[in-house]
Amino acid sequence: MLNQSDPLNAVFRALAEPTRRAIVLQLSRGRASVSDLAAPLDLSLAAVVQHVQALEESGLVRTQKLGRVRSCELNSEALGLAEQWLSQRRLQWEAHFDRLGAVLAEDAPGSSSE
Amino acid sequence: MLNQSDPLNAVFRALAEPTRRAIVLQLSRGRASVSDLAAPLDLSLAAVVQHVQALEESGLVRTQKLGRVRSCELNSEALGLAEQWLSQRRLQWEAHFDRLGAVLAEDAPGSSSE
């Protein structure tokens, strides 16, 4: 049932850090270099490189070396994997509530099923 | 820009652990006691209690002591918070691609805008 190598482990772990979410937010507006990503963040370039590496290892970001510049791009598939897992849990939870509501309505006095 | 106390930090951190995701999955099918949650997991009750506590601190789970039983319930709001953050990033990313596509189509030879 449990999978220690499930890609969601790394995706959710990467998203738990606010700087990394800020980088994902920046990249959701389009491709950027590591220097572009560092500009609005109050961090050293080395720290930003480390966060980008963690995002790359999680699969959320793809990078490509173009000459001396490392260009970063969001991988919407990894993002979609996490989103889908959450939406499935929410839908399952809502379906449970709908069933519960139907059962309660059936049991209520004056119900049409009597 | 960065918020170290953003509730998403704790929500994503809680979801990064496969046992905790298994617990969230179980709870998405309805309310359960800690013993119910432990039954399908190959873990001690104490370990499951710790995971439930981490989920409770993240806001993903609410618990209530009913006599000697601790009853656990999913908090779909916290789940929705994470889902919304991810879907906003995906939609932003798709909008960026749509704009990029429109620009490329306009620049293409034989484009109707010439």
pLDDT of residue A17: 96
Q: What is the mean pLDDT of residues A59-71?
A: 94
Nearest CA in chain A to B15: A12
Q: pLDDT tens-digit profile of A16-52?
A: 999 999 999 999 999 999 999 999 998 999 999 999 9
Q: Is A61 left (phi over 0), alpha (psi -120 to 50) or beta?
A: beta
Nearest CA in chain B to A77: B90
| List of chain A residues whose C-beta atoms are within 8 Å of the C-beta of residue B12 | 12-13, 15-16
pLDDT of residue A111: 62
Residue whose C-alpha is closest to residue A58's, from A102, A1, A14: A14
Q: pLDDT tens-digit profile of A68-81?
A: 999 999 999 999 99
Q: Looking at residue A67, what DSSP letter applies?
A: T
Contact B15, A18 (CB under 8 A): no
| Residue B113 main-chain phi, psi, to 5 deg | -85, -5
| List of chain A residues whose C-beta atoms are within 8 Å of the C-beta of residue B4 | 18
Nearest-CB residue to A83 (from B76, B86, B94):
B86
pLDDT of residue A114: 44
Q: pLDDT tens-digit profile of A87-100?
A: 999 999 988 878 87
pLDDT of residue A51: 97
Residues of chain B with pLDDT under 50: 113-114
Q: Is A67 left (phi over 0), alpha (psi -120 to 50) or beta?
A: left
